[in-house]
Amino acid sequence: MEQIKAPNKYNNIHLPKVFLAGSIEMGKAINWQQQLADELSVYPIVLLNPRRDNWDSSWKQDILHPQFFEQVTWELDAAKDADLVVIFFDPNTQAPITLLELGILAESKARDVVVCCPNGYYRKGNVDIVCDRYNIRQVESLYDLAEYVKLFFKLEERKKQLSNPEIYHGNWTDIEDMCRDFSISKSDLKGFRVMYAVYETPGYEGTAWVLLKKGNEYYEVNASHCSCYGLENQWSPEETTLKTLGQRGFYGSTDIQAYIKELQERNHVTG
């Protein structure tokens, strides 16, 4: 687990992101963000935490104040970019900004949201009604909040596995076969996810093609060899696009062409 606090950047991180919306009010709210981080410490996710280490309460809450503007825009962007938003209302706080965030997220329906609003919060009735109206999941405690995050990403990962399974053809049946022939280890994949891999050896010669994905970007490995050698030292992923791949013939391989077309349709890519 990695925790990124405002106003630090997170653009180049390709792990699932959770935005921690909720009570802060220094001196009143418990540090629930850190409690949640402790519970999720072993999970491969990123927590986007608005609790800023160098926050100065003397900053004027004005659109023209640079640090204040930076903080608010960071929070708005993080909520938009997150895969999941968790919201916690500490009963010892009023948290008007959190109420504002709940309203924005409920109306937009653009993100998965889970809310924890314990008994004692002064506007719990309003929160409960909004969540009921907009079908937002609620949990009872911080522990339940952590458990929901764990379950959410397990289910998301399973959905990805079902919708984008690794496909191996030819001489390869799994990732171990591929790594063996390229003389690489799984650690050499460095965050790449194998999507399609094929290695054909019709005679003593061989050709291989591997499609990889990292974040939202695609990469490919093209390799070949004569009868004297293998695929060693040819693992060199190069960035590509679905549009570029769709314009390739792949030596008449209808299997690969059909797979690329399916990817293009799924991602609404033409050409």
Q: How confident is the model at residue 166 (pLDDT cuts 50, 70, 90)?
A: confident
CA torsion sign for 181, 185, 211, 223 is negative
Tens digits of residue pLDDT in 8-66: 999 878 788 999 999 998 778 999 999 999 999 988 899 999 999 888 889 999 999 99
- Give the dihedral of Cα atoms 212, 9, 30, 36; nearest 10 deg: 10
Find the length of the chain. 271
Question: Which of 13, 19, 201 is closest to 105 using CA atoms?
Answer: 19
CA torsion sign for 214, 165, 237, 180 is positive
Measuring CA to CA, how many Å separate 13 from each of 62, 76, 158, 214?
31, 18, 21, 10
Tens digits of residue pLDDT in 103-120: 999 988 767 999 999 999
**Can you give the pLDDT at residue 185?**
93
- Residues 216, 83: contact at Cβ < 8 Å? no
Question: Which of 88, 72, 81 is closest to 36 using CA atoms?
Answer: 88
- Residues 207, 252: contact at Cβ < 8 Å? no
Instruction: Determine how β-strand 206-214 pairs with β-strand 217-225.
Output: antiparallel
Q: How confident is the model at residue 157 (pLDDT cuts 50, 70, 90)?
A: low
Question: Is 6 buried (19+), middle (13-18) or exposed (0-12) by CB count in 10 A?
Answer: buried
Q: How confident is the model at residue 122 (pLDDT cuts 50, 70, 90)?
A: very high
Instruction: Name the least confident of 77-81, 122-126, 151-155.
Output: 151-155
Instruction: List, in order of start, the domains of the chain with CATH numbers.
Output: 2-161 (3.40.50.450), 164-266 (3.30.160)
Beta bridge partners of 217: 214
